[in-house]
């Protein structure tokens, strides 16, 4: 009898040990941080001798810890900032969970009982919910991210502009460009606000909502947090807060106040579905720095038909998918995203200008009949341009094509009546006008292998002035 009781107690004990460790890291940590969270971080890093050879557990985030985190980030393709933010924290929690013990118990009988850890949760739920989440699968959105009467127009996903060298993974819900009113930001469905992060100044928030363990929505450029959310985050001026605030569909979660000086009139909005993978990123590992990107889905398919129609009516793009497109890669073809060889994929080698090694040769986000080229280093700065003659089409360029030459030019948008579109009001049937080109220079490209590209830029030179590659040509990869 006593033997059976002891066996039961031991079994329960080992089952307890075998449970997966909860995500230990749920705060932003940086130089100067101290306390238990830093100690736990240092203990985990100490198990990685190539990352943290000093193995010092002091509870203080000093120079040694900064260097260790930078090594860690380099190893896992994360921007080397030396701080523990969303992406670094997600990877740390993933490693922590992988180190959860497995217990194999051998009772007195000849049969053995194995107790193993359950399959880990998906990376998005680790990143944003710390592995603590409810439900699975998609839900129907019953509320727009802002009141429809407050939405002047919607720009689709896929914009390439400035440091956004590769196509952006969110839509832009624009308020009026004429005034600085206050606009409610709404939850699209029931769920939890699981994170709030400062992305610019202290009045510029990025928010993430968990709807299930596999479905999340992301907001950027929210000016104020709703009181019940602020009650959990407290006042903060940098970094991020992991929280868990229940919200209902249509509930106000924040406020947008347009900034006339900075010209930020919009709330950025997108959906990420861990059960969905974009097919046009042929090497998903390039995007480990932004785990959600490969899971970015068509926002409008989550809305009920009546509301979906209203959203489409205010979207300037008319080509399918109306919500936009961000993934263009085709193996063995020029079209899509490329990264300068040896620069750590999307995360880049310079955490402050990660986009320097980015290159996209694809199509305009509003008028996809036009080729558009976006490069992170055009004479020392990023640049986006149309193509003279709109040829060759990058989807038709392969290894067999050999060297191709693109003359890059300026362009502007015109609406259906032929007039100039100011990008401040709703318009339909918009076209990218390349009929009056202002030359930027020439780009040479040649696929040398299925996923290797030789490329050289010639700012200020016409196509006629460029005959072939020089010693300055660079290699790109995907």
The CATH number covering residue 242 comes to 2.70.70.10
Q: Which of 77, 97, 129 is the last residue of a domain?
A: 129
**Is residue 15 helix, strand or coil?**
helix
The CATH number linked to 21 is 1.10.101.10
Instruction: Give the tens place of pLDDT for each residue, 166-206.
Output: 999 999 999 988 777 899 999 999 999 999 999 877 789 99
- Judge if 75 and 171 occupy the same domain: no
- Judge if 338 and 264 occupy the same domain: no
For the chain, the farthest-separated pair of C-alpha atoms sits apart, in whole angstroms, at 94
- Judge if 338 and 459 occupy the same domain: yes
- CA neighbor of 324 nearest in space, from 311, 333, 315: 315
- CA neighbor of 334 nearest in space, from 442, 466, 471, 455: 455
Q: Is 12 exposed, middle or buried (CB count within 10 Å of its CB: 0-12, 13-18, 19+)? A: exposed
- CA neighbor of 357 nearest in space, from 370, 371, 374: 374
Question: What is the number of domains present in the chain?
Answer: 3
Q: What is the pLDDT of residue 81?
A: 80
Q: What is the pLDDT of residue 99?
A: 61
Q: What is the pLDDT of residue 208?
A: 98
Q: How many helices (H) and strands (E) does the chain have?
A: 7, 22
Give the span between the Cα atoms of 274 and 108, in whole angstroms: 44
Tokens coding 458: 């010639």
**Is residue 399 helix, strand or coil?**
helix
- Judge if 176 and 291 occupy the same domain: yes
Question: Which residues constitute the domain of residue 170?
Answer: 131-325
- Judge if 265 and 409 occupy the same domain: no
* Residue ranges in the chain modelled with pLDDT below 50: 2-3, 5-23, 101-120
- Judge if 122 and 175 occupy the same domain: no
Q: Which of 103, 129, 155 is the last residue of a domain?
A: 129
**Is residue 224 helix, strand or coil?**
strand
Contact 403, 468 (CB under 8 A): yes
Give the span between the Cα atoms of 83 and 94, in whole angstroms: 17
**Is residue 299 helix, strand or coil?**
helix
Tokens coding 380: 């020392």
- Judge if 384 and 468 occupy the same domain: yes
- Judge if 340 and 407 occupy the same domain: yes
Q: Which of 287, 303, 325 is the last residue of a domain?
A: 325
Q: What is the pLDDT of residue 112?
A: 30
- CA neighbor of 147 nearest in space, from 256, 270, 264, 265: 256
- Judge if 124 and 145 occupy the same domain: no
Q: What is the pLDDT of residue 16?
A: 37
- Judge if 30 and 117 occupy the same domain: yes
- Judge if 291 and 344 occupy the same domain: no
Measured in whole angstroms, how far is the alpha carbon of residue 303 from the centre of its chain? 22
- Judge if 272 and 391 occupy the same domain: no
């Amino acid at each position: 009898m006593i033997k059976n009781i002891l066996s039961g107690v031991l079994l329960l004990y080992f089952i307890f040990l075998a449970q997966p460790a909860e995500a230990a890291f749920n705060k932003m940590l940086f130089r100067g941080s101290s306390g238990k969270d830093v100690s736990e971080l240092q203990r985990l890093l100490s198990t990685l001798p190539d990352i943290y050879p000093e193995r010092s557990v002091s509870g203080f985030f000093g120079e040694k810890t900064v260097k260790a985190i930078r090594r860690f980030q380099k190893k896992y393709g994360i921007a080397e900032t030396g701080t523990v933010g969303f992406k670094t924290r997600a990877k740390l929690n993933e490693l922590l969970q992988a180190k959860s013990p497995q217990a194999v118990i051998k009772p007195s009988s000849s049969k053995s009982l194995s107790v193993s850890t359950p399959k880990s949760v998906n990376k998005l739920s680790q990143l944003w919910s710390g592995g603590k989440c409810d439900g699975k699968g998609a839900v129907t959105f019953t509320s727009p991210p802002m009141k429809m009467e407050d939405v002047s127009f919607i720009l689709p996903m896929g914009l390439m502009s400035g440091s956004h060298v590769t196509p952006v993974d969110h839509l832009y819900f624009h308020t009026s460009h004429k005034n600085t009113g206050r606009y409610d930001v709404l939850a699209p469905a029931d769920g939890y606000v699981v994170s709030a992060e400062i992305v610019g100044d202290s009045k510029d928030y990025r928010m993430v909502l968990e709807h299930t363990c596999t479905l999340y929505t992301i907001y950027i450029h929210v000016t104020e947090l709703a009181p019940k959310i602020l009650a959990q985050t407290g006042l903060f001026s940098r970094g991020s807060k992991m929280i868990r605030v229940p919200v209902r569909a249509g509930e106000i979660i924040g406020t947008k106040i347009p900034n006339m000086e900075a010209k930020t009139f919009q709330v950025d909005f997108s959906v990420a579905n861990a059960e969905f993978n974009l097919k046009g990123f042929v090497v998903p590992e390039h995007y480990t720095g932004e785990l959600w990107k490969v899971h970015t889905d068509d926002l409008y398919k989550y809305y009920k038909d009546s509301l979906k129609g209203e959203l489409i009516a205010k979207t300037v793009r008319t080509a399918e998918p109306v919500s936009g497109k961000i993934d263009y890669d085709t193996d063995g073809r020029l079209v899509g995203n490329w990264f300068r060889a040896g620069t750590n994929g999307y995360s880049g080698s310079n955490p402050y200008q990660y986009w320097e090694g980015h290159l996209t040769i694809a199509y305009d986000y509003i008028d996809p009949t036009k080729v558009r080229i976006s490069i992170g280093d055009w004479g020392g700065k990023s640049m986006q341009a149309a193509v003279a003659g709109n040829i060759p089409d990058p989807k038709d360029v392969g290894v067999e094509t050999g060297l191709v030459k693109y003359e890059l030019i300026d362009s502007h948008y015109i609406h259906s009546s032929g007039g100039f579109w100011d990008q401040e009001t709703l318009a339909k049937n918009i076209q990218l006008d390349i009929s009056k080109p202002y030359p930027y220079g020439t780009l040479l490209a040649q696929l040398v292998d299925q996923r290797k590209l030789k490329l050289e830029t010639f700012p200020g030179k016409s196509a006629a002035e460029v005959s072939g590659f020089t010693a300055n040509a660079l290699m790109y990869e995907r």
